Amino acid sequence: MSISSSVSGKADAHADRLPVQAVILAGGAGTRLWPLSREQYPKQLIGLLGDDSLLQSTARRLDGLSASHPVASHGIVVCGEDHRFNVAEQLRQSGAPAQIILEPAGRNTAPALTLAALSLVRNGDDAIMVVMPADHAVTDEAAFRARVADAVRFAGEGHVVTLGIVPTRAETGYGYLRVGPQLDERNVHELDKFVEKPSRELAQQYVDSKQYLWNSGLFVLRASVWLRAIEQFEPLIHAACVDAFNARTNDVDFLRVGVEAFKACPSQSIDYAVMERITEPGSGFLAAVVPLEAGWSDVGAWDAVWEALPKDAAGNVTRGRVMLEGASNTLAHSEGRLIACVGTDDLIVVETPDAILVAKHSAVQNVKAIVARIKSEQGIEANFHRKVYRPWGYYDSIDEGKGFHVKRIVVNPGARLSLQMHHHRSEHWIVVRGTARVTRGEESFLLAENESTYIALGQKHRLENPGKLPLEMIEVQSGAYLGEDDIVRFEDHYGRA
């Protein structure tokens, strides 16, 4: 008997008491938002629209949900291996506890959701999943929760519900949903059909007809219903995910699934794997759609960021150190250095410590082509920022040249780096602020501000922050090879040894 079959009868018996479970899909790189979004620090981890990252905003989006079903205290987040520590730290900072499931490789959204559903039914239980991409924005949270509550009522009865965005323009970058007959007095409709991204002319016809909504990628359905659907329509995905989940292990704060089994899983989106098929006659499922007007945006490119943020009288959006003179419809985003825009119009300017983007509004979809060129030339700017986050804190590459690399290192209170050594470099450490505990060979000692030490090539060493304030220090590396892969870990608190 399949996992989905084993829980369906039990879930039906208490459908009115099923908990609501936030499921956040946090994969993806967001290359069209380069240079802020990069593969090792993608857009869902960035505060594009405010102080909170998109992930943090999403994690709190169901707070105060008005529904007859209780909301689970812990969410579920599915993310990639490379982002696990940043995801965990951001959730900790935002006070949004979650089970974090790690994908050993990117396989799109259908396998990711299957892992989340399997984790919910592993003990024979069921839940109503509110499936949310981690990189979307919503400005009217109250309206969002009200429509989710409407969707929850139908999902509890075993229906598959999606939230469709009431279109504000003829958009060719989104798929569309054709709305069927109304199912109740709260404006919930039968979902008639999924429609691929249209031409400009066809998109305008859709909007004018008022019978179509944008496909948001937001879904509400029971875990057991999803597992039954994925097993019916994509049995290879279901089987691979079950095998991977059965081989799971717990690693610190993370749930790891079987690597080889998951890598054998076909790559498919939720839409193509299931949603487009359940609207077909004889599918065995009832699909519903809830129209949503809540200031939604998928924040897919820089023009969407400009659209979502408050503007001055001339249509300008500024963040950071920016000066404008005679500018209009300009987005200028500075991460540190001063940006001065004179007489610009319909322009995007984004500054980071190691890269600057200048683009016309109409051309921002082509930013991903620049990222592809950077990768082809083996430039690190496609993957990494100058500031790189680690589970213990972060480092900022201040300067580098032939045979040397200078970093500013910040270690969080109580955190420590791995016990490690390097084959090709030596290191000088100077404490700027705080207190450091240093392990060097067989000795261990403390360093205070303005004190320094030397780590010889091939010497085992570890850096710790025993204090209650962040430890800041300067590291000067010297040697024939200074790559980050020249690290041999003997012991690591974060499971990287």
The DSSP code sequence of 188-254 is: -EEEEEEEPPPPHHHHHHHHHHT-EEEEEEEEEEEHHHHHHHHHHH-HHHHHHHHHHHHT-EEETTE
Q: Classify strands 317-319 and 331-334 as parallel, antiparallel or unpaired.
A: parallel
Mean pLDDT for 324-335 is 98
Share of the chain above pLDDT 90, in %: 89
CATH number (1.10.1040.10, 2.60.120.10, 2.120.10.30, 3.40.50.2300) of 387-491 reads: 2.60.120.10
pLDDT of residue 16: 67
Tokens in use for 198?
Answer: 């249209």
4, pLDDT greater than 80: no
Three-state SS at 72 = coil
**Residue with token string 């990628």:** 217
CA distances from 448 to 125, 263, 339, 431, 445 (A): 54, 47, 38, 6, 10
Task: Between 493 and 451, name the one with better pLDDT.
Answer: 451
pTM of the model: 0.90
Q: What is the DSSP letter of 16?
A: G
More confident position, 159 or 12: 159
Give the CA distances from residue 363 to residues 29, 77, 346, 348, 420, in Å, rounded to whole numbers and listed in that order.
Answer: 19, 33, 10, 10, 46
Contact (Cβ atoms closer than 8 angstroms) between residue 474 and residue 429: yes
- pLDDT band of residue 30 (cuts 50, 70, 90) is confident
- DSSP 8-state symbol, 272: I
Reference 288, options 389, 187, 144; nearest CA is 187
Burial of 169 (0-12, 13-18, 19+ CB in 10 A): exposed
Instruction: Please compute, for residue 490, the number of CA atoms within 13 A of its CA located in the half-sphere on the CB side.
Output: 11
- 29 pLDDT band, cuts 50/70/90, is confident
Q: How high is the pLDDT of residue 3?
A: 37
Bridge partners, residue 194, by sequence: 177
User: Is 299:136 a contact under the CB 8 Å cutoff?
Assistant: yes
Ordered strands of the 347-352 beta sheet: 317-319, 331-334, 347-352, 355-360
Q: Hey, where are the domains in the chain?
A: 3-297, 302-376, 387-491
Q: Comparing C-alpha atoms, which of 120, 135, 161 is closest to residue 25? A: 135
How far apart CA 153 and CA 158 sit, in angstroms, is 9
Please state whether beta strands 471-479 and 404-411 pair in parallel, antiparallel, or not at all (unpaired).
Answer: antiparallel
C-alpha distance from residue 342 to each of 9, 293, 324, 326, 349 (Å):
66, 36, 6, 6, 12
Instruction: Report the mean per-residue pLDDT for the chain.
Output: 93
Residue 252: what pLDDT?
77
Q: State the DSSP H helix or E strand holding residue 351, giving kind and residue range, or none if neither.
A: strand 347-352
pLDDT on residue 7:
36
% of the chain at pLDDT higher than 70: 96
Q: What is the pLDDT of residues 414-437, one digit of tens each?
A: 999 999 999 999 999 999 999 999
* pLDDT tens for each residue of 343-391: 999 999 999 999 999 999 999 999 999 999 999 999 999 999 999 999 9
Give backbone dihedrals phi and psi of 78, rounded to 5 degrees, phi first: -110, 120
Q: Is 45 helix (H, G, I), strand (E, B) or coil?
A: helix
On the CB side of 182, CA atoms within 13 Å amount to: 5
The verdict on domain 3-297 having CATH code 1.10.287.980 is no
Q: How confident is the model at residue 11 (pLDDT cuts 50, 70, 90)?
A: very low
Coarse DSSP helix, strand, coil percentages of the chain, rounded to the nearest 5 percent: 30, 35, 40
Q: What is the pLDDT of residues 201-256, one digit of tens each?
A: 999 999 999 999 999 999 999 999 999 999 999 999 999 999 999 999 998 789 99
